[in-house]
């Protein structure tokens, strides 16, 4: 039973955004006198819970909202709701519960995070409607994940700052780019169902070009982070940034307009490893 909910929300995909939330958190720790002895552990737990609740609400709502379309698509027909493993009402209740827990946890953190929590939910839940109305859907997904580093930073500091915002923009362009690659699989189906996406708008070849440009911008922003925070981000950060950039380059060697057989490798494995590696090296640099 519970296993079905883990697969419903693709819990393993938290590897995409969670490492960036950790980056935002440890950047905040560096900027303050917070330590794990004086309450840092508690705030870190709150960050993890907020990421889990937001992920559950967003993916659960997306699966509930798209259940009829998923049933028509051979690639998604075996998902939990169209396959009958989870009832639509149960999935919606799961979304409502996680949304309430997200806002309640934000209330326990600080006033700024609490007042911004409905805005964050609006973004991550609203994404589910965008594929029906605009090809910018990939950008909205990217925005949802981009909330991770700045959100975690706000948990500790209650104020905005340039470096975590730059990390959020890295996530925005990185996520938008790899979601375009993932959407290549459904180009024909999306056309038949009048759904919007970059591959539908531009075709496979041009969609891959745009994805490459977006990932190039993400790499440029990583250089901007390194130069902006050169007082505490040094060698280890640059190693991590280099490996992250290399993973993006490798990702684009795997997928061709006429060969989508390695999309899952490019989407899941490469991006998951890239985010973890960047987080590990960045956090190591902050403490070393």
Q: What is the pLDDT of residue 33?
A: 80
Residue 181 contacts residue 256 (beta carbons within 8 Å):
no
Q: What is the pLDDT of residue 264?
A: 80
Q: How does pLDDT run across 25-65, given as a tens digit for each residue? A: 999 999 888 776 677 889 999 999 999 999 999 999 999 99
Q: What is the pLDDT of residue 19?
A: 95
Could you give the CA distance from residue 151 to residue 129 in angstroms, rounded to a whole number? 23
Q: Measuring CA to CA, which residue among 24, 280, 281 is closest to residue 163?
A: 24
Could you give the CA distance from residue 67 to residue 84 in angstroms, rounded to a whole number? 10
Could you give the CA distance from residue 280 to residue 135 in angstroms, rounded to a whole number? 34
Phi, psi dihedral angles at 58 (to 5 degrees): -65, -50
pLDDT at 102 over 90: yes
Q: Measuring CA to CA, which residue among 271, 266, 62 is closest to residue 181?
A: 266
Assign 270 a pLDDT band (cuts: 50, 70, 90).
confident
| 256, β-bridge pairs | 259
Q: What is the pLDDT of residue 129?
A: 94
Could you please report the per-residue DSSP string of 129-151? Answer: HHTTT-TTHHHHHHHHHHHHHHH
Q: What is the pLDDT of residue 265?
A: 72
Q: State mean pLDDT over 162-182.
A: 96
pLDDT at 193 over 90: yes
Q: State mean pLDDT over 86-113.
A: 96
Q: State mean pLDDT over 200-227.
A: 97
pLDDT at 13 over 80: no
Assign 103 a pLDDT band (cuts: 50, 70, 90).
very high
Assign 260 a pLDDT band (cuts: 50, 70, 90).
confident
Assign 223 a pLDDT band (cuts: 50, 70, 90).
very high
Q: State mean pLDDT over 256-262.
A: 88
Q: What is the pLDDT of residue 268?
A: 77
pLDDT at 70 over 70: yes
Q: What is the pLDDT of residue 233?
A: 92
Q: What is the pLDDT of residue 11?
A: 60
Q: What is the pLDDT of residue 6?
A: 65
What is the rounded average pLDDT for all residues in the chain?
92
Could you please report the per-residue DSSP string of the chain? Answer: -HHHHHHHTTGGGHHHHHHHHHHHHHHHHHHSS--IIIIIHHHHHHHHHHHHHHHHHHHHHHHHHTHHHHHH-TTTTTSTTTTTSS-HHHHHHHHHHHHHHHHHHHHHH-HHHHHHHHHHHHHHHHHHHHTTT-TTHHHHHHHHHHHHHHHHHHHHHSS--HHHHHHHHHHHHHHHHHHHHHHGGGHHHHHHTT---HHHHHHHHHHHHHHHHHHHHHHHHHHHHHHHTTTT--HHHHHHHHHHHHHHHHHHHH-BTTB-TTHHIIIIIIHHHHHHHHHHHHHHHHH-
Q: What is the pLDDT of residue 222?
A: 96
pLDDT at 226 over 70: yes
Q: Which domains does the chain have, with CATH numbers?
A: 2-287 (1.10.357.140)
Residue 121 contacts residue 99 (beta carbons within 8 Å):
yes
């Amino acid at each position: 039973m519970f296993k079905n909910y883990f697969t419903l929300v693709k819990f393993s995909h938290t590897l995409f955004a969670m490492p960036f939330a950790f980056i935002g958190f440890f950047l905040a720790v560096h900027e303050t006198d917070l330590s794990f002895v004086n309450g840092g552990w508690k705030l870190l737990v709150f960050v993890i819970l907020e990421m889990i609740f937001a992920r559950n609400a967003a993916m659960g709502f997306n699966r509930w909202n798209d259940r009829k379309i998923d049933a028509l698509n051979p690639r998604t027909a075996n998902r939990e709701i169209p396959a009958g493993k989870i009832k639509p009402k149960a999935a919606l209740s799961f979304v409502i519960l996680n949304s309430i827990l997200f806002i309640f946890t934000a209330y326990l953190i600080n006033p700024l995070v609490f007042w911004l929590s409905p805005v964050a939910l609006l973004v991550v839940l609203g994404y589910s409607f965008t594929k029906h109305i605009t090809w910018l859907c990939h950008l909205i997904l990217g925005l949802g994940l981009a909330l991770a580093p700045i959100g975690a930073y706000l948990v500790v500091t209650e104020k905005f700052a340039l470096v975590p915002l730059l990390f959020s923009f890295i996530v925005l362009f990185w996520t938008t780019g790899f979601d375009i690659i993932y959407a290549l699989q459904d180009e024909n189906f999306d056309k038949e169902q009048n759904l919007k996406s970059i591959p539908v708008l531009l075709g496979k070849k041009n969609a891959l070009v745009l994805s490459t440009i977006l990932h190039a911008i993400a790499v440029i922003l990583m250089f901007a982070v390194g130069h902006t925070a050169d007082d505490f981000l040094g060698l280890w950060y640059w190693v991590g940034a280099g490996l992250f950039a290399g993973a993006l380059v490798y990702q684009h060697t795997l997928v061709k307009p006429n060969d989508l057989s390695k999309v899952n490798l490019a989407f899941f494995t490469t991006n998951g490893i890239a985010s973890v590696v960047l987080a590990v090296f960045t956090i190591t640099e902050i403490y070393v």
